[in-house]
Structure 1
Amino acid sequence: MNKKELKEVLLLPIKCYSPLLSLIMFSSLTRTFSSRSSYAKLATRLYNQKVLHVREKQPDEQIEYIRTIEKNTQNWVSVKNEILSKRGNVNQKNIDSVMLKSMTTARNFDAALSFTKHLQSSSEELPLGTINSILGLYYEIEKTTKLSKDQKKFILDSYKNLYDKYKVLDYTTCEKLLHALCIINEWEKALKVLNDIHLSTVPSHSAYSTLIATFFKLNKKKNAFLLIEESLQHKRPLQENAYEEWMNYILRKFKDKKVIAKHMDDLFSHVAKYCAIVPLQTANKLKEFYSSMNWDAQFSRIKKVDGECSSCKVKLEHLSLSDEEFNTLQKNVKEKLIMGSDLFLKTSPQELKRFLDFIEATAPYDLVLDGLNIAYSAGMTPHREKLFLLNNVIDHFLKHKKRILLLGRQHMLGWHKKSLDQIMRKTCSFFTEDISQDDPYFITAAILSGPHTDLVSKDLLRGHSFQLQNESLRLVFKRWQWQHQWMVFLNVHKGFVVQPPLTFTPCPQKKDDTWHLPFNNEVISSTAQVNDGTPDLYSWICLRRK
């Protein structure tokens, strides 16, 4: 058999109609020939692409049919039989819940309500999945239309019956039930459900924000504020519905513009305290509202070089850590990250002691360099080239008379000896075991060295900030990082570029009578850009009293 004939045989399964038959034929044929054959490899690649293409082109016929259901459908038994006769994953057990979810997602509420009425007319007990789907349907309907008495009764009955039957509810049921209870203002029952979610996991962003919104809607400001604190401790920032009801509460309770502005400042102070990013819908409403108050309300950008607002030309301030904040951060690094139960320096006790003794004996430093991170900025180059870049970066900082601690891995000691010796003569140096995580070392070294020590690394340090259990402390760590972290990038024309820390704090701020707030612009956030840990500076709102 010549090469052309072999290729035709190997590509034959791709032309087959049935993917299963193709797989059987192809597996048999490829076992016949050597796995080293380039033609066999080519056929394998083409076959995989073809099968994936076939699968992508085959839509779920059942879901497609559900989407075509009209609102005046009468014979639901016939509709269900038609769905079950088509190809897909819907079966006799899950068909009711899947139909309701699909119609709710498509906002085909009339058909979904008709089907719900059909299900409720049966004498059979509704499965849990179907109950959850009905609760989800009612939650979506209430956003635009008031629920009927029967629909409200179904929510209350579901709450009672489910707890009578199961005592403890699963996460999905709790989430659906909580949202449904909130739309009928049953906040006490919803709060019980929220607490039950904590038995297995953390409630969702939507669960927290929906209940917070309900508290504001019912004028229960104290309850709302308590739950806001809890939600943020669980890293669940507020969603648009919570902000909207908070604003509605202020506008409902107060009429004088100056008093309204004062209480809106409370909302902004919350945003600033937690360095929160408001949703785009909230930003639009704030712009509209403050424009109606005769303020200058504009969307703006913040200049990365100096923090200047493109609208009002005011510069964001550099919110330095206070002595108390830094001491608290340093104390937690010692107690939580090193000595406590949250130990994350994955190393031997002997190496950890050697490292801490070294820091105590040689600190303070002006800079802590992440040697491996900087060296590998040179890409897939020989070790000598990596050390050449590292040496140039060190020389850059030595020109400014900086005292440097270089942290690396022990395998770097096997790199080009002459180059490495030259580097080590210029710095204090510590090399961790290869099995250790080196990035926690330079974070610890920089913080233990003192409030004036900076670090140089492109590592964004996200994972390590989460080791600090307190949300306020995580924000202090983030501010410290913005103010102390340098980064090294390679540039085709300029060689290496050293990016200094920010000269401002990219958090919500008030200066005189002007507020600057970041908002979540999904369009900007989804565009490709270098991620250097700096928040989005293109999506801010500037609110300035005229």
Structure 2
Amino acid sequence: MVFFHQTSSLGLLKSLKKSPMFYPMPKHQQMPTVLGCFIFTSSYQCAKPVDPRIRPGTTKLSFKGKGEGIRETRVGKDYSSPRPFNLFAAGASKRRSGPREAIEDSERSILSRRITLHPPEKPLSAGEWEELKGQFEGLRKFEVLMFEQMIACNSPIDVAKSLLAAVAKREGDIQYSILLKYLCLCVSQGSTEEIYDVHDILKARFKTLETSGYGLLIRGLSGTARWREALSLLEELKKVMTPSKSNYGDCIRGALLNREINLACELFHEMLAKDLVPNLDTLQIFFDTGRSVKYDILKTELMHILSYLRDNQVYPGEALMQSIKQWFESIPGENWKGSLTTIKHSGQCPSCNQSLESINLSPEEYSTLKERIIKDVIQGTDTFRKTTPQELEEFQTFVNQCPPFDIVIDGLNVSRVYNKAIPSQTLLNVVSYLAQQNPRMLILGRKHMLKKSAQWHRNDMAALQKKAHFFFTENLSEDDPFLLYATLHSGSHCRFVTRDLLRDHKACLSDSLTRRLFFKWQRGHQLVLSDYIPGKRIKFESVLNFDTIVQTTGNTWHIPYDDNVLERSSYEVPTKWLCLQQK
């Protein structure tokens, strides 16, 4: 350990169901149950398991063509110098990863061209289906793939029924997986009678279903006159597993469409109690219902949803944002008016001139975050795999003996921001730039930086030690815990310099509240070197002064929302806002 102090600062068969042959057989019989031309063996008691990770309507495909291959060709650009970007702004990661994603799009295009199944535009006879299948000799699961294409192309239900008839005629049975694909098509088109038919068939044939079967039936029934049967399916599902947020959302939708407000609210709170994050369309139907149902209990619930968005840092999409705006503007006698805006860097809203909440943590929040960082990150067992208790203790002693720092710098991270330059010179240039305001700085490095080499010039290192304090860890040690400790220990004014997003360390935190505090603190304290050209340009991203969460002053609401055009990563925040004012 070496340290230096600075020296200066996702009906079946209506006609068949009406057949006199449609009645369930006793379960102990082994004779087949005949549904018109569809024969189902009653000996099956449970559905064949289906991988719950694969949504109905999708199948993993792997095709190889002779001589086919994918050659990656990278665009001939110079990525050595980072282009200006806002690390935490929505769409930043998408822009940075453009070349790689272009390659992946090309790979998917090649795969899609290897085989194409075009669903017929009208029903085919069994013989015609067999002829078509013969054209794809050697292709496994022809029917499954054809149903997937029907789903993708939104094919007429009659075409799908004709394929089911052909399968039943050939095999004397219809596999569960094929029946599920048919159900998926019916649900996607809202074919109510067919959904009823498939539901009745599945319930007569199987004691239980697998996850996707339950999910499709719940979704299909929730928007129909038999919506309460979706609630029964939800209860069945609870006996074996926790239903998904989509299962709950579909049942909530059924309740709200039928004006069962209390039931919808109960389901919503039950879902939250299971730590399920509701889909945005579930939240949207609450607000859409609120425009036509003026119940106080519903208004209270909508305010609760807004608090939920705030407390969990959930951002509406454009559709939900518009529903929220329209609901506010529909409240009788309150005269709300909404407008879309972009907040100034100062934190002031140009629509209402209201200043948004500061990005800075309160003293209580800061104390809580500091304590959890030290316990979960600094002293966490994962840290000791990359450093030792002795090294950490020595560092803590060093920091405690120094006056509070204004800036803490990840030396290696900064030094490699421009790969065509000498690291020691890059670090010296950046530190010299920061030193213009005479801050008290700490540079974290590793011991190999002290050895004379082509990358680490002694004169550069000597000059650096005159501008800042230094602490050199072992070469295999992890820098980030030291960076976090020194910054937090120095106080809320201290900022840190690194291009690292610190996501691993955020994930180490034991509860969601602390993780949100960490992200807020990070956005308000991390200095990001976004543009650097030796001898020409050094640019740091501006640190926002306001927090990006739902907030209100009583007569105003400010709601950040996702732009449909931009793809936002989990560590980024929206840049567009809905401003609501009570006139």
Task: Give the TM interval when normalised to the shorter protein.
Answer: 0.7 to 0.9
- Tell me the residue number matched to 1:522: 564
Listed as ranges, the matches of 1:467-506 within 5 Å are 467-490=508-531, 495-506=537-548
C-alpha contact 2:187 2:195 (8 A) present in aligned 1: no
- Tell me the residue number matched to 1:312: 352
Whole-Å Cα distance in 2 between the matches of residues 188 and 290 of structure 1?
Answer: 34
- 2:548 pairs with 1:510: no
Listed as ranges, the matches of 1:434-449 within 5 Å are 434-449=475-490
Whole-Å Cα distance in 2 between the matches of residues 449 and 77 of structure 1?
Answer: 79
- 2:314 pairs with 1:276: yes
What is the TM-score normalised by the length of structure 2?
A: 0.69
- Tell me the residue number matched to 2:427: 387
- Tell me the residue number matched to 2:93: none
- Tell me the residue number matched to 1:79: 129
- 2:198 pairs with 1:154: yes
Whole-Å Cα distance in 2 between the matches of residues 391 and 175 of structure 1?
Answer: 57
C-alpha contact 1:187 1:215 (8 A) present in aligned 2: no
Listed as ranges, the matches of 1:199-218 within 5 Å are 206-207=246-247, 209-210=249-250, 213=253, 218=260
Shift of 1:84: 4.2
Q: Secondary structure at the match of 1:522?
A: coil
- Tell me the residue number matched to 1:130: 178
Whole-Å Cα distance in 1 between the matches of residues 363 and 68 of structure 2?
Answer: 70
- Tell me the residue number matched to 1:7: none
Percent identity (aligned): 22
Q: Secondary structure at the match of 1:330?
A: helix
Q: 2:373 aligns with which of 323, 333, 337?
A: 333
- Tell me the residue number matched to 1:223: 267
C-alpha contact 1:62 1:86 (8 A) present in aligned 2: no
Q: Secondary structure at the match of 2:113?
A: coil
Shift of 1:254: 2.2
Q: Secondary structure at the match of 1:524?
A: coil
- 2:155 pairs with 1:114: no
Shift of 1:282: 1.3
- Tell me the residue number matched to 2:39: none
Amino acid at match of 2:511: N
Whole-Å Cα distance in 2 between the matches of residues 409 and 173 of structure 1?
Answer: 56
Amino acid at match of 1:151: I
C-alpha contact 1:215 1:224 (8 A) present in aligned 2: no
Whole-Å Cα distance in 1 between the matches of residues 507 and 536 of structure 2?
Answer: 36
Shift of 1:105: 2.2
C-alpha contact 1:483 1:503 (8 A) present in aligned 2: yes
Shift of 1:97: 2.7
Listed as ranges, the matches of 1:141-540 within 5 Å are 141-142=189-190, 147-148=192-193, 151-152=195-196, 154-155=198-199, 158=202, 164=208, 169=210, 175-176=215-216, 179-180=219-220, 182=222, 184-185=227-228, 186-190=230-234, 193=237, 196=240, 206-207=246-247, 209-210=249-250, 213=253, 218-219=260-261, 220=263, 221-228=265-272, 230-231=274-275, 236=277, 238-251=278-291, 253-254=293-294, 263-293=301-331, 294-303=335-344, 305-340=345-380, 343=383, 346-362=386-402, 364-397=404-437, 399=438, 402-414=439-451, 415-490=456-531, 495-525=537-567, 535-537=573-575, 539-540=576-577
C-alpha contact 1:336 1:468 (8 A) present in aligned 2: yes
Shift of 1:98: 2.3
Whole-Å Cα distance in 2 between the matches of residues 440 and 57 of structure 1?
Answer: 44
Shift of 1:133: 1.6
List runs of 5+ in structure 1 lacking aligned partners: 1-17, 24-48
Shift of 1:513: 1.4
Q: Secondary structure at the match of 2:360?
A: coil
- Tell me the residue number matched to 1:99: 146
Report Cα offsets for 1:438-468 as digits up to 9, x if no partner: 2343123323444443222222223322222
Whole-Å Cα distance in 2 between the matches of residues 310 and 437 of structure 1?
Answer: 44
Pair 1:319–1:19, CA change in 2 (3 A)? closer
Q: Secondary structure at the match of 1:408?
A: strand
Whole-Å Cα distance in 2 between the matches of residues 222 and 503 of structure 1?
Answer: 39
- Tell me the residue number matched to 2:16: none
Higher relative contact order (CA 8 A, sep 6+): 2
Report Cα offsets for 1:201-253 as digits up to 9, x if no partner: xx866456445545655432133123135445xxx4x3332012222454455
- Tell me the residue number matched to 2:23: none
Whole-Å Cα distance in 2 between the matches of residues 58 and 512 of structure 1?
Answer: 53
Q: Secondary structure at the match of 1:247?
A: helix
Amino acid at match of 2:391: E
Whole-Å Cα distance in 2 between the matches of residues 438 and 523 of structure 1?
Answer: 37
Shift of 1:505: 0.6
Shift of 1:503: 0.8
C-alpha contact 2:328 2:336 (8 A) present in aligned 1: yes
Amino acid at match of 1:521: D
C-alpha contact 2:550 2:558 (8 A) present in aligned 1: yes
Shift of 1:312: 2.9
Pair 1:214–1:339, CA change in 2 (3 A)? farther
Report Cα offsets for 1:286-308 as digits up to 9, x if no partner: 334444555322222222x2123
Q: Secondary structure at the match of 1:490?
A: strand
Whole-Å Cα distance in 2 between the matches of residues 156 and 334 of structure 1?
Answer: 57
Whole-Å Cα distance in 1 between the matches of residues 574 and 357 of structure 2?
Answer: 17
Shift of 1:540: 1.9
The CA RMSD over aligned residues, in Å, is: 3.8
What number of residue pairs does the alignment pair up? 467
| Farther-moved stretch of structure 1 (511-520 vs 281-290) | 281-290
Report Cα offsets for 1:38-67 as digits up to 9, x if no partner: xxxxxxxxxxx9xx99x939835542x22x
Q: Secondary structure at the match of 2:528?
A: strand
Shift of 1:521: 1.4
Pair 1:129–1:443, CA change in 2 (3 A)? farther
Whole-Å Cα distance in 1 between the matches of residues 481 and 379 of structure 2?
Answer: 13
Pair 1:331–1:210, CA change in 2 (3 A)? farther
Q: Secondary structure at the match of 1:377?
A: coil
C-alpha contact 2:556 2:582 (8 A) present in aligned 1: yes
Whole-Å Cα distance in 2 between the matches of residues 341 and 84 of structure 1?
Answer: 60
Pair 1:204–1:372, CA change in 2 (3 A)? farther
Q: Secondary structure at the match of 1:369?
A: strand
Amino acid at match of 2:231: W
Shift of 1:437: 3.1
Amino acid at match of 1:225: H
Q: Which has the higher helix share?
A: 1
- 2:110 pairs with 1:56: yes
C-alpha contact 2:444 2:471 (8 A) present in aligned 1: yes
Whole-Å Cα distance in 2 between the matches of residues 276 and 22 of structure 1?
Answer: 44
- 2:553 pairs with 1:545: no
